[in-house]
Structure 1
């Protein structure tokens, strides 16, 4: 295929122990494998608009890493784009904004896309696109944080001459999710985003005082999906557009609620 674009990224492991002794072989290899998986998942989403769990499914682009450098352990990563991405833009600033948005969302750092092309992806595919991508990347990012969990101070994903995302102990606590709490709790609030195809959405939950991603659980009644659309449309600030939710929480290791798994809902 014809090469249409080439983008450089850097993965930097830093801290006193790294600069003195280098990177632990097993922990470092596990972390690099996790970052490689999550980057391929993100680049595949950037190219196709599809979210896949298998990193080997990357289409329309290829990724390579160069030789490591001395000092802090630094790897150069080259992404070669061989087809037009779903954003329709080949500009490097769009690629880096997509990667920054995807990894920031996946590590609990909330930011809005900066470029119109990535903003369009978030709007036309619904804001739930990046929520679903973040959840898909979670397992690989848990592996990616192994070096941080074993003494490396931080890892940075960089573009030429600037940082995109910093990974540290706080992001490790976010990606290392607690098991699903089996207890179903009652919440109230309104839908702010909803994708009727995937079932993923976002809702303002009064008890948590924030907007949080959700998805229906396996036992969620199909007959109740209409309530989710009903709450989304119209004046969602109005009490008559609010819902009661019965849901289980998925929490980060820090105890923060990351998303809700819906068991049922009803008009408030």
Structure 2
């Protein structure tokens, strides 16, 4: 069995005396467990679930809270990955690292911190595919984006002791696999403000960007906007799903894959901004795409 440990440690206020508001702690643990379960299931089985009890191929166990701060340690014990049996150290190491990186990606993207998919999970999945018998199904960025949507409410719940009873000031999320400790994220009132509130700006804006991922089934994707310095999640509005608009999006994706700096990889669009309470762009609803003049 592969065991990867994840910890959630609340600090400050009453948490320093090893106590939290009971209701808030229960909510936070529910969000912690659900986000871990959904992420682990996707890595192991290549499918997205919405209910934590549907987790297959793994168990999530919890230890008693530790003294000092209010800290709990969970163990994600993986028995198998879909139809792939575990057992050899190199293959097991790959899977343990995949779960750690996937959870890091989900939490940080949910909190508004950009993680480069290609340089993290993308490279790890390339290693998986080089194996004669891949240990896990390959997960796309579109699947990870769908998982982030499902986990957003859970990550919000993990903030409850911080914003509701205020029995804690912040919390630190870490993972431990073998002897490697990874600091995944720190959550506080600022990250709560980001994940809690999404406001649509009244007037649409016109901009250009490079499509970095797109799902033809959901009309969702990511587009790199230069003045934001990161890929932004987007949805094509109902009235923007015609052949020409979709073709312009997919052409940008294909051309961007060939040359990330080529002028023909950009697409012009009109969209509504969805922002956090501090004005940070969270996603775009694209209402019009200007087809490229290039063949």
Q: Does 1:67 align with 2:91?
A: no
Q: Does 1:101 align with 2:105?
A: yes
Gap change, CA 1:222 and 1:53, over 3 Å in 2? farther
Residue 172 of structure 2: aligned partner: 156
Number of residue-to-residue matches in the alignment: 263
Superposed CA deviations along residues 98-125 of structure 1, whole A, max 9, x for unmatched, are: 222222222222234279425668xx64
Q: Counterparts in 2 of 1:70-219, with a 5 A limit?
A: 70-84=67-81, 89-91=91-93, 92-112=96-116, 113=120, 116-118=123-125, 125-150=139-164, 151=166, 152-160=168-176, 162=181, 163-181=183-201, 183-206=203-226, 208=228, 210-219=230-239
Gap change, CA 1:27 and 1:222, over 3 Å in 2? same
Gap change, CA 1:203 and 1:111, over 3 Å in 2? closer
- TM norm structure 1: 0.84
Residue 229 of structure 1: aligned partner: 250
Which stretch of the first structure deviates more once superposed, 234-243 or 57-66?
234-243
Residue 133 of structure 2: aligned partner: none
2:67 aligned counterpart, secondary structure: coil
Which stretch of the first structure deviates more once superposed, 110-119 or 89-98?
110-119
2:283 aligned counterpart, secondary structure: strand
C-alpha deviation, 1:229, in angstroms: 0.8
Q: Give me the whole-angstrom Cα distance separating, in 1, the residues matched to 2:227 and 2:97.
A: 38
Which runs of 5 or more residues in structure 2 are unaligned? 129-137
The answer on whether the counterparts of 1:190 and 1:243 sit within 8 Å (CA) in structure 2 is yes
Residue 11 of structure 2: aligned partner: 14
C-alpha deviation, 1:209, in angstroms: 5.2
The answer on whether the counterparts of 1:11 and 1:156 sit within 8 Å (CA) in structure 2 is yes
Gap change, CA 1:110 and 1:205, over 3 Å in 2? closer
Q: Give me the whole-angstrom Cα distance separating, in 2, the residues matched to 1:210 and 1:173.
A: 20
Q: Give me the whole-angstrom Cα distance separating, in 1, the residues matched to 2:45 and 2:70.
A: 32
